[in-house]
Structure 1
Amino acid sequence: MVVLSKPAIEQLSIANDCSTFLPGVPLVDLSKPDSKTHLVKACEEFGFFKVINHGVPFEYMRDLETEALKFFSLPPSDKQKAGPPNPFGYGNKKIGHNGDVGWLEYMLLNSNTEADYHKFASLFGEAAENFSRVLKVYVSAVKKMAFEILEMLADGLKIQPRNVFSKLLMDEQSDSVFRVNHYPPCPDLEESNGAGDLIGFGEHTDPQVISVLRSNNTSGLQICLKDGNWISIPPDHNSFFINVGDSLQVMTNGRFKSVRHRVVANSSKSRLSMIYFGGPPLSEKIAPLPSLMKGEDSLYKEFTWFEYKKSAYKSRLADNRLGLFEKINVAS
C-alpha cells in the first residue's frame, strides 16, 4: 500500500485542465475485415484506441488481476523483498530516477524471462506456482494480440513484409517489459485537493513500439488531444487500450502519433492496470521506413533502441523525448 502524509500528498502534481469523458475514442473490432483500416486511422488521429474481440479470454485477465491484488495487499516489508526496481522489481511512489513521483505502487518485470516472475511469485509461499502460471498465460496472450495488431497495421499501410513491426517484438532479444500499476484510493484527496485531480502517474509518452493496457473498472486514464485538451477515458475491464509508442511514430515518419497520457488518482476506489510494453532489441536501429517515405524527408535521425532508451530514462516524464532526435530542416 502506498502511504503518504498530507504534506507529501500536497507535493504531488495536480491536474486542473481535464474535460469530461470523450465518447468518440476509436473503437476497433479486431474480428472485422476492415479493422486494419480503422487501426491505421486511429493511430494517425489519436495514437490511441480501444480493441474488442481481441481473443484474450476474460479469465486470463481476471486471474492475473486477482493475483496482483494479493501481492499489493501484502505488508510493505514483504513487498520490499521484491524490490527496489533495478530496473525490475517492486516500486512505491517513485517513478524513475529524476524526481518524478506519483500516487502508486507497481511491479516491473522483463516480459522475456521467467526469472522475474519467480521473484514475485516466491512471496506467495505455496501459491507461488499459481502466480507464475497466470502471469505467464496472460503475458503470452497479450503478446500474441500485440503481434497481430502490428501486422494488421502493416497491412493497412500496404507495406511489406507484414511483420516489419511485429518481428521487433518477436525477437528473442526483444527489450519488452510488463508492468502492473496499483493506484490505492486516496481518502484525503478531496480535502487536500479540491481544485483538481491528484496525479497517480504523470503525463508522458511511451518510448517503445506499442503498449497494451488493461485495467479494472476504475477510471483514471486520460489522454491529450492534438489541441492540448485532456480527456478522460471510460474504463472497460473487458477490453484493451492500445498506445502508439515513440519508436512506432519514428518508424512511420510521424504518420502515427505517440499519445501523451497520464493517470489521476481516485478518492474511493483502487485502480489496477496491467501494461505490456513491446520494445525492440537494444541494438535495433530505429528510423523511418523507406517504404513509407514516398519522397518525403526524414523527420528523425537514425538511432538504436539502446540510445533512445538511455536518453529517455535520463529525462523527466513530461519531457519531449523525441526532441533530441528530430531533424531540423532549415529552408534555403
Structure 2
Amino acid sequence: MSTLSEAYRDLPHHPHHIIPLDFDSVRTLPDSHVWPPTPHAFESEDRVSIPTVDLTDPDAGKLIGHACEAWGAFQVTNHDIPLDLFHEVESEARRLFSLPTGQKLKALRSPGGATGYGLARISPFFNKYMWHEGFTIMGSSTDHARDLWPNDYQRFCDVMEDYQKKLKELARTLMHLVLKSLDISEEEISRVVSAGGDSTALQLNSYPLCPDPNRAMGLAPHTDTSLLTILHQSTVKACKSSKKELVGF
C-alpha cells in the first residue's frame, strides 16, 4: 500500500481540488456535491457507543488498551483542557469561517501545501465534492491569520497556539498510556513520544448550512494519516459531557 505522500505525488492536487464552493451564494445543491445514498451505520434500535475513559481513573491505561484493541477509538473525560479554551477556539473558528469567501481565499493553501484555508486534502480521491471547508494549522498560524485579519489577527494566533499546546500535552499523555498497555518499556515509550512531538496538525472544520443535507456529504469516510487523532465534539451536537474528547487510532 502506498503512503499518502506517494498518493499525492501520483494524484497531485490542482486548484479546483482546493477552492471551496462559495456557500453563501448557493441556493440549491449543485450536482457536483450530490452524493449517492448511503446506508445508516445504525438502523436498528440496538445502538452502540464507544468506551469512555476517565483519565483520573487508576485503570485508565488498561481501559484505553482494551478500547484500542476492541474499538480503535474512545472518548476521554477529565483531560484538564479548560472549557473556556474550547469556547475560545470555537469562537475564533466561527470568526474565520464567517468571513466573506473572497477574504478567506487570501489564506488559500497552495496545491502542494499543507496549511491554510481550503477543501479537505482527501478531496481529489473522490468524484464528488464535500460540503466542507477547512483551515489547517501546523506550528504558527501568524502568516495566514495576517492575510485574513491584517490588523486583528493576534487573538486568533494566541488562542490557537494555546490550544495546540494543550492538545500536545494530552496527546503525549494518551500515547504514553497506549504504549504502556502494550508492555513497552518506559525508555522506548519516551523515545516514541518525543519523536512524534512536533509532527502535529490542528484542523478546523466547518460544515455550512446546506440546502439539501440528505444528499450532501460533510466529510467522506477516510483514515487519517496520523497515528493519533484527537477530535473535539463541538456544541453543535449534544453530548453527555461538555468536556469530552473523542480519540481515534
**TM-score by structure 1 length?**
0.60
More strand per residue: 1 or 2?
A: 1
Distance 2:211 2:170 in 1: 37
Which fold has the larger relative contact order, with Cα–Cα distance below 8 Å and residues 6 or more apart in sequence?
Answer: 2
2:152 is aligned with 1:127:
yes
Matched, 1:40 2:65: yes
2:15 aligns to what? none
Structure 1 residue runs of 5 or longer lacking an equivalent are 220-232, 245-332
Q: For 1:12, which of 32, 35, 43 is the aligned residue?
A: 35
* Structure 1 residues 227-306: aligned runs within 5 Å: 237-244=242-249
Is structure 2 residue 209 aligned with structure 1 residue 185?
Answer: yes
Secondary structure at the aligned position of 2:196 is classed as helix
**Between Structure 1 and Structure 2, which shows a larger proportion of helix residues?**
2
| Residue correspondence of structure 1 range 72-83 to structure 2 within 5 A | 72-83=97-108
Alignment partner of 1:52 out of 73, 77, 84:
77
- Provide closer, same or farther for how the CA distance between residues 33 and 117 of structure 1 changes in structure 2, counting only shifts above 3 A: farther
Q: Taking structure 1 as reference, are residues 203 and 73 closer, same or farther at Cα in structure 2, changes over 3 Å only?
A: same
Cα drift, residue 218 of structure 1: 2.6
Partners of 2:83 and 2:166 lie apart in 1 by 11
Q: Does 1:88 align with 2:115?
A: yes
Cα displacement (A) at 1:27: 0.2
Contiguous gaps of at least 5 residues in structure 2:
1-21
1:138-165 deviation per Cα after TM superposition (whole angstroms, max 9, x unaligned): 0100110000111112222221123244
What is residue 226 of structure 2 aligned with on the other side?
Answer: 208
Q: Assess, with a 3 A threshold, how the Cα gap between structure 1 residues 13 and 65 changes in structure 2: closer, same or farther.
A: farther
User: Does residue 107 of the first structure (1) align with residue 139 of the second (2)?
Assistant: no
**3-state SS, counterpart of residue 202 of structure 1:** coil
Q: Which amino acid aligns with 1:89?
A: G
Distance, in Å, in 2 between the alignment partners of 1:137 and 1:10 is: 35
Q: CA RMSD in A?
A: 2.5
Question: CA separation of 1:13/1:88 partners in 2, compared to 1, >3 Å: closer, same or farther?
Answer: farther
Q: SS at the partner of 1:103? A: coil
Provide the identity percentage: 23
| Conservation of the 8 A alpha-carbon contact between 2:77 and 2:245 | yes
- Tell me the CA shift for residue 89 of structure 1: 1.4
